[in-house]
Amino acid sequence: MEIKQVDRRAFFKRLGGAAAVATMSATALADELENQMLGQLEAAVNCEPPPQDDSPAVRRGSGIIFNRERTPELAPMPEKATLVDFFERRFSDGIVQHCLRSAHHALESGQDEIHVMAALVHDTIMTLMRTDHGYWGADFLAPYVDEKIAWGIRYHQALRFYPDESVGYEYPDLYREMFGENFVPEPYIRDAYESARKHRWYMHARMITVNDTYGFDENVNPQFDDFVDIIGRNFRQPKEGLGYDNSPSAHMWRSLLNPDRPL
């Protein structure tokens, strides 16, 4: 699988060496690793290498939409934009590919449609914001999807660090290989996991991790068109267009519509 090709030495060097890595939190390291894998996907899709600079001008938690080198052109959007428009013209190619593979895995393994939909949108916020993306992603989507989907997206960020054999989710080997056996998630992540574990909607977060990077086949390339009907049944499209319906997350959609606005 593609994810096995992450070079540990190069990865540590990019983060400033072993001493710098030792000061980083478990969450930050795992995010860096997954961002690098997404970066490889972006590079493969866009045919442009991700920046290798040790001190990037744009901080790593920001979404690709703020990086002109990686997103030089923004396609015009219709006045009343739909989720499909965002998939086609705003969400980054790498993230769309990642979410499609994840949703394809949910569909092929016969999961309920609510899990397919959750997989399809679970990381879309990362075009705008990578830091704490589970929490941002939940707020981003909550006005438009089943509350269990938003809840699951919020907690998938924490659950990826914790195995659940009942559904075949193992602690990712890649984390063990890259970070060693003593890799401990931060207290807020552990607390989030413990509270999610007891919640009646736990499986809505857990299935997102089951369908995530470590579960799906990196070699399939599902087509977005195959998921448009699922979006139609599971996304409350506002008639005013995303960004202009005065929902609690409308500002996030507007930021994606026009990331060049200074204020």
Residues that bind Fe ion (CB under 5 A): 123, 212
Residues in Cβ contact with 164 at an 8 Å cutoff, skipping those fewer than 6 apart:
206
CB of 17 to Fe ion, least distance (A): 27
CA–chain centroid gap for 106, Å, is 16
Structure tokens at 88: 């086609």
**Element at 133 (helix H, strand E):** helix 133-141
Closest to Fe ion by CB, 20 vs 220, is: 220
Closest to Fe ion by CB, 124 vs 249, is: 124
CB of 59 to Fe ion, least distance (A): 19
Contact between residue 77 and residue 90 where contact means Cβ atoms under 8 Å apart: yes
Closest to Fe ion by CB, 81 vs 196, is: 196
Closest to Fe ion by CB, 152 vs 241, is: 152
CB of 73 to Fe ion, least distance (A): 25
CB of 209 to Fe ion, least distance (A): 8
Q: Which 3 state secondary structure label does DSSP give 174?
A: helix
Query: Which residue reads 């013209």 in tokens?
Result: 89
- Between the alpha carbon of residue 57 and those of residues 20, 41, 60, 174, the distances in Å are 19, 21, 9, 28
